[in-house]
Structure 1
């Protein structure tokens, strides 16, 4: 187990596979401020593991993948603090997950509502158990889907599907979610972890460099960190050239480089 700063956010690495697990089943894996901070740390730590080729994102128990933000954690905050602290922290954490260089597979073991759905959206592939329900109930509470539920979710699922959830409050079954593209695969209750591991092994068998570059380019196509991704690709090409070695050698020897 790798320390994330909060025992309720677990990060384990086994060979080519990393697993980020939300472990607060008594609260339906709802996230408080410390947990969101730890989730961001877990993403950054997993990204730094060069041997990792795939990441599984899941929750403990069988009732909820993640119930989103714990209402008790933010409901008493002043509006400005809520917007500038809680919402922005959630964006940072979820962006870190969506922009992991390794492919992320969400093993959706329980209901996926509100911020939990926004968390699942950060994954590249979603595998849901047959009893799971999907939705964005926030507007019924007088709040919006603030952790990219109106942005990344629209890019990945299409605006009409998100409208049905966010505006009309529709809750989808896994069969409906599969047809709408909210999930990529439906498995029996209790089997999401095994299915995610099988998918992770399938990914790990492929070229890790080609896989990471492909994910980066697809993120660019979606508008996910487009500027940073373009510079990362350019930096990769530059770093792989002989010019870098020439320039560094000249710098170390305090002379003008000859390219």
Structure 2
């Protein structure tokens, strides 16, 4: 059943990942996280996909982590199986090669907001609410709500949500930079697709490289991004072809620095 919890489909150059647990407002549990990781792998491997949208089925984008999924875990399991695994999946989203847009068509709270933060852009329908309510039940944001969110929105905005318990309406979130666009109820997906089309029309390799460079500047990636950029450059050179060809022929390579 896990494969049905999160789906990946392609619409031309746009990939669409959809969380499909509407009866729980797409709250995340371990099977959902596993299915999301699989869908992200599918999106990464889809060569013709240039932009990826992340959506939620039904009335909610994502209500965060399902309390029933972790409340009975031991401290050790909570740390490793829940927090660390969630980080791995969210980092996978943040480091996807394609630009990503979260389509916030329903309330986006706790882990749901952390999931949206892992995307490059956020389109919010006007009726939604956003916040980090975790401390109200005695826990803390555990999937980069105090790290990636601070880097992207600033510490004071995150303080207001995580410490002060403020929940922002979409227009307030827009003014604070938490979302990038606000659109009317029911039009979020169409708005995101239109924006994705504009992004997809740009040079795909240049867009991917720019995303990597921004991630380095932001502190999202460093070592891996540097090696990816350098390796991609080297892969286009004659020296690589000469080296590989010589290796296969068991000969000494003749490099030309071209």
TM-score normalised by the shorter chain: which range applies? over 0.9
Match in the other structure for 2:43 = 46
Secondary structure in 1 matching 2:3? coil
Select 1:16's aligned residue among 13, 36, 40: 13
Using the TM superposition, give the Cα deviation of residue 6 of structure 1 relative to its aligned residue in structure 2, in angstroms: 2.4
Secondary structure in 1 matching 2:55? strand
RMSD over aligned Cα atoms: 1.0
Match in the other structure for 1:26 = 23
Select 1:58's aligned residue among 40, 46, 55: 55
Match in the other structure for 2:147 = 151
Secondary structure in 1 matching 2:123? strand
Mapped partners of 1:5, 1:34: distance in 2: 6
Equivalent residue runs for 1:109-188 within 5 Å: 109-188=105-184
Using the TM superposition, give the Cα deviation of residue 8 of structure 1 relative to its aligned residue in structure 2, in angstroms: 1.3
Q: Confirm or deny: 8 A CA contact 1:106 1:123 kept in the other structure.
A: yes
Gaps of 5+ in 1: none
Counting matched residue pairs gives 255
Select 2:89's aligned residue among 93, 102, 123: 93
Gaps of 5+ in 2: none
Mapped partners of 1:209, 1:95: distance in 2: 21
Mapped partners of 2:111, 2:21: distance in 1: 15
Regions of 4+ moved over 2 Å:
none
Q: Confirm or deny: 8 A CA contact 1:37 1:89 kept in the other structure.
A: no
Select 2:254's aligned residue among 239, 250, 258: 258
* 1:135-193 per-position Cα deviation (integer Å, ceiling 9, x unaligned): 00001111110001111101111111001111111101111100000100100000000
* 1:48-95 per-position Cα deviation (integer Å, ceiling 9, x unaligned): 111100000010112x21001110011000011000111111111111
Select 2:186's aligned residue among 179, 184, 190: 190
Mapped partners of 1:44, 1:142: distance in 2: 34
Secondary structure in 2 matching 1:120? helix
